[in-house]
Chains A and B, each alone.
Chain A
Amino acid sequence: MDRFSWSNGLLEINETLVIQQRGVRLYDGDDKAKMDLGITLLSTHRLIWRDIKNHECCIAMPLSQIIFFEEQAAGIGKSAKIVIHLHPVPANKEPGPYQYSKYSYIKLSFKEHGQIEFYRRLTEEMTKKRWENTPVSQPIPTGTGSQAGKTRAVGIVGIERKIEEKRKETDKNISEVMGKNKESNVDIKSSCYGMMALTEVYCLVNRARGMELLSPEDLVNACKMFESLKLPLRLRVFDSGVMVVQLQSHSEEEMIASALDNVSEKGSLTAEEFAKLLGLSVLLSKERLLLAEKMGHLCRDDSVEGLRFYPNLF
């Protein structure tokens, strides 16, 4: 679903409507998309979808994005679907409802039938490829669709101006970037099993920014700030040097396991001894011991000799 861009739904010059069908629900891969039912329109150039109730919610995708498509027969309680497999997101794609998707296909679910005719017309258009003969001007980005009425701008200058307008709203501060990408972070969380290579994060973040890209160094520095920014993500570096961004909960489990292992091996440990073992600051190693204690894996011995942690044998 991250191949779609916001659209005002108006056809361009040289673009013709081929067929439209009501009662279509979109799927991001196998998951229901966040939209409600809508109308899907096929033109000579694009696949367009508009929300039935909220006409301003309108998205479109060039037909050139389509690699191939297939029918999925209806079943008990399931409508017939067309599964559309897509090329990767192009670099110059305008913003849309999804910043990122783990799927490279979408589905159109035909709640009010019409899939047979739609499939036939789509096949025709994908064969004829009429968009190659009559290219239209750049699709006009309209943000959330509520900016209808702005002057049309064509060419690279127009694109740059549009992007800059959006950029003005966002702070150049790195933490703002992280804040802005909270949504994509949430998507990462739910779709990447809790871990993503830093190189992939780099692509996502810069794709979202559009201009004034982050350098790799900036990104690494921003990731080091996760904890102080109170984001539930952590930067982790493997022995090989590979860096990943992972869920805080994963990191916590590892910290607790390492605390328990080390304490069990040595019989008991103070925060200072643990810090020396791990090469961490005393503050951080104490946090880990406290976390393991909170989870019931360690217990404490508090005496004049100091605070010492033991495996919880109780």
Chain B
Amino acid sequence: MDDIEAELKIDSPGNETTNQEIIKNPLHIEAPSKYYETGFHRSSRKCLKVIRDAMLHHNWQKAAEYFTSYIQTLEDTTVTSAHLTRDVIWRLGAEILHHLANASIDDFNAVYEIMKHAGVSNYAKICLEHAFHLLLNGQSDEAKRQLSSASHWRYGKLTDAQSLEMKLIHAYCGFLDYFIWSNKISTTPETEDVSSLQEISMYFRQASVTLQEIITRPGIWDPFVLSYITMLEHNNSLDEALKVLQNYAYNKDFPSNPNAHVYLYQFLKRHNAPQSALISSLRILHSAVPSHKLMLEFCSLLLKKHQDTALKEALCACMDLLEFSSWKCDRDAWKCLLKILQRPKNEHNMVKEEWAVRRSLWMAFHFRPYIIKTESQKDVRLWRIKERVLKLLGEDLHIEDTRKSPSGQRDRHHNASEDNVDGDSRRGPARNSNSSFKRDESKAAREGNAAGLRDRLTDFTHRKRPINTLNSTGQLVPVGFIPDV
């Protein structure tokens, strides 16, 4: 909270108008007319606008034509924000090149190389992008060379300003080292050749040092962590690997990455950790992401424990899982719930308590008529499981069917009155027919004599409809009833 306030002190000194101002101006495309604009600046601004429009409409050929002229702004020394211009130029240039059929790898290299050195304020970023471009085009050796040369780049304060990018450059450098290492490991047989072993260990050292460094910083480092763990496992330093994974999953500075928990769990499972350790790691994942795929495994692990508490936990976890719409039609999850409910040791009370809490939601969410209808037609196997679950939960579907959710009532009700209404609506424009929305008491009284409407409104006057008002506590207070017209 206080950090935000720190920010707000910078950008909005505490009144609404400034805040509105900030929202108002998303982009500064048009130059402000405060300062005197030279002809060159004006034409280059207009040129940029044309390029921008062409690019937004995917008119790359036209954009390229104008872009050849726009690069003249690189020579402009009077612009106060020259580094912005350079950033814009490399972005536009790279994007246009991506979409021109005759662009070669040399052209890309030229753009990246030149823009890298043209005002070094974006050096690290462009280096990184250049390396990515090479990687994506299968030139990983060249990319490695680029990255390692960029990692030694020093330019005083400008290097410090780009420290994040520099760290990423180091990290990707190590990442590529790791690939070289893993390639060498898999290709070279178990030789006793000292030089090759030395080379392998060199790559190992380089990769592990850089990867270790980057994954201690808060962030999402899934590919890096995976490769670092592979290396550690290869080196048989399992304790170190566990420590790294635990830090990645449980460190408070890191975002709560579900994958971190998954990696830890998989690591534990791979190395035959005791069941309790597996369960506890999954329990933490459950608290963070109750809809995770591993929750099914969590349930089955809990079921193996043969304890009442574990069974209850499994029931909760499984029912939680099924409440998420992504799991709604998952047969495995329903099977799991069925299995839990079928447990002989199953205490009836426990299930009843859970069901009582969730019943209203579940009836509308899983067992409303439309879903029953479609599922019994399309996915019969799922529906059979669901039917059995419902039986075990002590609900009778047929009874439920008759006093089901309001939507069911509504459906039947409307089907009955369908014929009345349909004909009317065709006869005249429905403009005045359903004006009940706008009617409060006085209006309703005024229009009370509109007896001609009576026939048309049969659909809506079966019951009196309240217009409700929210009072200050948020409860619904009926303010009046619309009389039958």
A binds B: no
Q: Measuring CB to CB, which residues of chain A are less than 8 angstroms from any residue of chain B?
A: none
